């Protein structure tokens, strides 16, 4: 087999092997120095398994790598994924199921952004299903004169264009305030007598 036919046969074997994912290719050199390729190693021959991701060296052509995902082979994809960790925001205060006591109804909500907040961002507080407040570049929001009772709060991390980057889990908390109702005043009784 001449060198030209060997290259053609190699190309055919490589293309065939890419279509069958589990196929293996072996190579061995005969006594005339001709390289042979086969799908099963021949007994008595020193056959080596061919790495199908790397093209064999033929003549002066440079070696080439042929993979389905080059970033996976070089590890670039893992480094990039690690560098682009998903943003998250959590509502730390008030705590889930916590009870606050404030007769003025003032509540301060503290959030935490991980891994690091963008340079410009907004934080929106949703309280009982309605937008309560929006602040820029600060995960702390103060709400005044909140009614007593149970409340559900959630924080949204927003890009400056309004895109939602992350949402916190909803937190249910309870606010206790002294009642505005005072005890009834005793009514004076008429003098009898």
* 115-124 residue pLDDT tens: 888 788 999 9
Q: What is the pTM assigned to this prediction?
A: 0.51
Across all residues in the chain, what is the average pLDDT?
A: 77
- Banded model confidence at residue 20, pLDDT cuts 50, 70, 90: very low
Contact call for residues 156 and 89 (beta carbons, < 8 A): yes
3-state secondary structure of 6: helix
- Give the whole-angstrom CA distance, residue 23 versus residue 40: 10
Domains of the chain: 3-71 (no CATH), 88-176 (2.60.40.10)
For the cut 70, the answer to whether the pLDDT of residue 184 exceeds it is no
The average pLDDT across 168-180 equals 89
Spatial strand order in the sheet of 26-29: 35-38, 26-29, 48-49
Structure-derived torsion over alpha carbons of residues 158, 160, 163, 167, reported in degrees to the nearest 10: 0
Tell me what pLDDT residue 57 has. Answer: 58
Residues 6+ apart with CB under 8 A from 132: 125, 126, 141, 143
- Banded model confidence at residue 168, pLDDT cuts 50, 70, 90: very high
């Amino acid at each position: 087999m001449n060198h030209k036919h060997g290259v053609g046969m190699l190309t055919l074997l490589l293309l065939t092997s890419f279509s069958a994912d589990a196929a293996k290719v072996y190579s061995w050199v005969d006594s005339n120095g001709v390289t042979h390729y086969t799908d099963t190693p021949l007994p008595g021959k020193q056959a080596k398994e061919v790495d199908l991701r790397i093209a064999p060296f033929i003549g002066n052509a440079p070696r080439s790598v042929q993979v389905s995902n080059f970033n996976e082979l070089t590890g670039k994809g893992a480094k990039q994924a690690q560098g682009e960790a998903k943003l998250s925001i959590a509502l730390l205060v008030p705590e889930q199921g916590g009870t606050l006591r404030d007769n003025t109804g003032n509540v301060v909500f503290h959030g935490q952004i991980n891994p690091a907040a963008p340079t410009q961002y907004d934080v929106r507080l949703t309280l009982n299903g309605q937008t309560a407040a929006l602040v820029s570049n600060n995960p702390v929001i103060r709400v005044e004169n909140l009614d007593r009772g149970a409340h559900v709060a959630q924080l949204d991390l927003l890009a400056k264009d309004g895109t939602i980057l992350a949402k916190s889990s909803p937190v249910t908390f309870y606010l206790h305030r002294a009642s505005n109702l005072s005890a009834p005043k005793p009514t004076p009784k008429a003098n009898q007598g």
